[in-house]
Amino acid sequence: MIEIYQHQKSYIHLLNTRVKTLFTLVFILCVSLSPTGTWPAYLLFLTVILAGIILSRLSFKLLLIRSLISLPFVLAAFPILFTAPEPHWQLSINEKIKILISQPGFERFISIAIKSWMSLLAAILLSSSTHFEELLSALRKLGLPKPIVSILSLMWRYLSLMIDEGRSLARARDSRSAGKSNVRTIGWRAGVTGKMVGNLLLRSLERSERVYAAMAARGYTGDPLYRTSKSFTKGDYWILTCGVMLCLLILAFAILSQ
């Protein structure tokens, strides 16, 4: 369900995961650091990420749909449209109601939305061209502590199992209430949901005991478990350097053109 695109083969998919991860972080950092309203620089950043998407041969439409996930959060920046200072644009709805939109506020709002969207595209590109286990082993090589990597890797292995259990609980609830979500009071509905969550937690606690017993039986003594990643070649080093330089150049351009 979750890993549908990661099996494809393309230049981006085959690229060393550490290169991809570091580049994505540098890209997002540079996008975040570029000042408000530097539109030409934004266009350059967008070109970089679009080039990545085209090279990855992922469906642009699907990435676009996935990138809408943080759209509701734009609401958080919405008020600055009206609270930022002069000069204002005036929109008249009728004689009495006039809306004043601050021009600097508008600039900031659009900048935040674009920067956030480009960062999101980069993160989606990384996660949909990389196996999660590979990503974890790359993060381990980059210094993420062993226990965290092991916990995340084990969580990943049991995630789809737990989601399935959650789904079957939800299906059981829906079939017992004839598919109607509005039966009885809110308190009752919430209580049932809470008991489902409690059920899930108990099952997971018991399962973790069994998993631990099985791991111990196979000789587990607390050493972390994760995959090892590909080695870092000279070619990877050059690709990463070029990518990072490109981002920094665009950032410098953004700051100078401000």
Site for another protein in 19-48 (CB under 8 A): 24-25, 28-29, 31-33
- The residue among 75, 97, 101, 96 whose CA lies nearest residue 86 is 101
Mark the segment that binds another protein (CB under 8 A) among 7-15, 42-50, 218-226, 227-235.
218-226
The smaller minimum CB distance to another protein, of residues 233 and 258, is found at 258
Entry field: residues in the chain: 258
Distances (CA, A) of 256 to 13, 39, 45, 113, 253: 34, 13, 15, 22, 5
Report in angstroms how near the CB of residue 199 gets to another protein at its nearest: 6
Binding mask 156-195 for another protein (x = CB under 8 A): xxxx-xxx-xx--xx----------xx---xx-xxxxxxx
Contact, 244 vs 23, CB < 8 A? yes
- The first and second tokens of residue 5, run together, are 């695109």
Report in angstroms how near the CB of residue 84 gets to another protein at its nearest: 5
Binding mask 54-83 for another protein (x = CB under 8 A): ------------xx-xx-xx--xx-xx-xx
Is 95 near another protein (CB under 8 A)?
A: no
Report in angstroms how near the CB of residue 126 gets to another protein at its nearest: 8
The smaller minimum CB distance to another protein, of residues 206 and 238, is found at 206
Using H for helix, E for strand and C for coil, what is the string for 184-237? CCHHHHHHHHHHHHHHHHHHHHHHHHHHHHHHHHCCCCCCCCCCCCCCCCHHHH
Report in angstroms how near the CB of residue 112 gets to another protein at its nearest: 6
Report in angstroms how near the CB of residue 184 gets to another protein at its nearest: 11
Q: Using the rule CB under 8 A, which residue among 54, 201, 252, 255 binds another protein?
A: 201
Within positions 99 to 158, which residues make up the interface with another protein, using CB under 8 A? Answer: 99-102, 108, 112-113, 115-120, 123-124, 127, 132, 135, 145, 147-148, 150-158
The smaller minimum CB distance to another protein, of residues 148 and 242, is found at 148
Residue with tokens 């990463």, as numbered in its chain: 240
DSSP character at residue 69: G
Cis peptide before 87 (omega within 30 of 0): yes
Distance CA 258, CA 39 (A): 10
Report in angstroms how near the CB of residue 169 gets to another protein at its nearest: 7
Contact, 30 vs 247, CB < 8 A? yes
Report in angstroms how near the CB of residue 80 gets to another protein at its nearest: 6
- Count the residues of the shown chain that bind another protein, applying the rule CB under 8 A: 97
The separation between CA 245 and the C-alpha centre of its own chain, rounded to angstroms, equals 24
